[in-house]
Structure 1
């Protein structure tokens, strides 16, 4: 029995020892902190570090966005300043250009006024005298006006039209003061001259300008000045020296083309004008020039030969340059008075005249010839010249011209 009891006790001791061996020991560090607590602390520290890093990155991003916003604002301010500066410069340039144009216009008006001084003395001075002498508008007064107009190269037909216009205006508007007649005449003349279409209106199509007129009227110089104007307006120009009969005509035209810096197609004196025009057309087509200006003979053996030569040239132009816009300009010397009208009629019989270049207005007493030419031929004045400089040719301004006479 005792043996059996000792056996049971031994089994219990063995079992307790096994249980003791299977239990995990609890390990403590030097601070008394358990391993689990250490792991949790490390996890929390890691979370806190990640949080601080996220906050740091968020702060950096915020600062970056703020810097970009401020930079954008600064850029916009700089751009606004730049635009304002550019706009100011544009306005300054525009103002300078406008002032320059006003000065040029004023300067040219002064030249016209000076050039028409004799015309003014011959016409306006007499008109003012009559206006001061009469106190009412009657037949005697109108007769005096009629005489002044006729003696000022206005011509009979134009004078009668002006008188009829005065009578109509006086009747309709019940005008009684003779001093108002000057304004009526001025209005009529401006309206009559205001149908000019600019010779420089070139809209993407090649243009050929045929310049005609008798020798001595200023054809060559007008071509040189017109070439200069077109070149300054950005047009490419070729000039044909078609007046091969007049001595030194080709050399003179070459000199003007050199001054205007445009190309000239020329041949020897006495050669066929038609062949020169043909060569010039080929050159203008090959170079795709904007404008071809052709000089023509001003005088041959007689009127018939001159007109036949022009007809021949026009046929060449029609055949070789038919697609180009064609314009025929007649050069008239203002100092010739009624002879200028006769010349215009002569050329209009052989070809359609599209416009007049009126030259030598500086110092003439016969500037009034402008009006009957426009009236009788229904041809507008395109250019007027008041000097020998290369920029002394200007597009005709009807109001400016009439103002220069009536001022």
Structure 2
């Protein structure tokens, strides 16, 4: 009888052990998913739950979620084996460290109690007991996905944002410039970014933006997230029910990003963009030659000769050719001649060399500068006619 009771106890113990929920994933796969999650999670948080990645197992699907209260990301993790269901919240960076050192080894994640989770690496090569936060404290959004706005195939969303993201302002005083304006009209669509000195517009649909225009300002952090983790991926943009003008949901294979929008009025950038009908002079430049000449001239006007990216420079006529000059009250004057012709009737003009170099770095092939007057905005054109780049003038 004692033997029979002992056998039954062992069987019941094995059944209880088998019934425990667990999931087995490759360390490398979990680390890749947590790269996205930890990008959103802030490094310093007042509440411990905001430093956590929320893990949810349902059937054979494991999802990792992170939030900073403005952006929420959910990533699906490739699963090797799973049983049951559970929800837990673990420190995102601690979990990423475990996954990273595990590499290609398998991780078995299994809740031990409501505030403790066990993680075993491979064939017990390492074992961890990680403190868990209660999942009910995690600020998971409850709003539903709304109607589809637009689809972007084959990484078009990430590529489009990357064309203009370098022009996003970092100043907090004009907070509405701290993102990319996604403008949808009845005749076209575009992404626009400006910092007040430089402006870039990428027109990706339709003949021209017009009609009833809807503008949504996507925050800089969301833009960088989509650029970094959306390369080559299909994406669809949706409204969020109950917050159509305040939030967006972006869906990619295995990734859902829900972000708040910047609420504000984006400036009318068309007002500073030179109009096609306005008289202008065109200066055609070889991009490599222009970059070299700008750096050679700009170095003179700096008190620190090793810093060549902030100087005021001027373009002027030198014997019928374009020349770039700069002055410093203590060091003297620099002149860097170029091989391209100076247009007849054009006035000399000045600009910030750092801004011009940053724009030329984004251009494709040779460039054309279109200028109307010394105090008018400068249009910079390259081989990509879907791009419009504008640089404000500078008095020198």
TM bracket (short chain):
under 0.3
* TM value normalised by structure 2: 0.18
Q: Between Structure 1 and Structure 2, which shows a larger proportion of strand residues?
A: 2
Bigger CA radius of gyration: 1
User: Looking at both structures, which has the greater relative contact order when contacts are Cα pairs under 8 Å and sequence separation is at least 6?
Assistant: 1
Higher fraction of helix:
1
Q: What is the TM-score normalised by the length of structure 1?
A: 0.18
